[in-house]
Amino acid sequence: MTICPEIFRQRAIVEGLYGVREIDEQTVRQVLEVMTETLGMTPISDLLIFSPDQVSELHHGIGGFQAWAESGCSFYTWREQKLFTLELYSCKPFAVTDCIEKLQETLDVTRIEWRDMPPE
């Protein structure tokens, strides 16, 4: 990105298949708290945890968002496919490999892919 190059911005998207039996509200909370701690981010609001189950024909699962002073982290799951997506956005540098290691521990990941989009 070339707009406002003086502002550091890093993004990463991690997707995988989880091996834990079920992801519930407590698991979403744990993932977001572990990401916050692992990356040394500063929470600026309570966690938002949500599920589209009652209103969506397309997506069944649970997700959450944690706002940070440095930006934020979103986590989504698809129950039937056992798929998860973690999206990270930060104005502070971070190592996506640290996130992947923690996700593997927390979710018993069976397959994982990621794209790190460091600043240019």
Is pLDDT above 70 for 1?
A: no
User: Which residues make Cβ contacts (< 8 Å) with residue 44, sequence separation at least 6?
Assistant: 67, 68, 69
Entry pTM: 0.92
Domains, the chain, ordered by start: 10-117 (3.60.90.10)
Mind listing the pLDDT tens digit for each residue in 44-98? 999 999 998 878 777 789 999 999 999 999 999 999 999 999 999 999 999 999 9
DSSP class of 9: -
Residue reference for tokens 């502002």: 7
Instruction: For residue 14, give both structure tokens.
Output: 């991690």
Say how many CA atoms lie within 13 Å of 11 toward its Cβ.
6
Mind listing the pLDDT tens digit for each residue in 30-49? 999 999 999 999 999 999 99
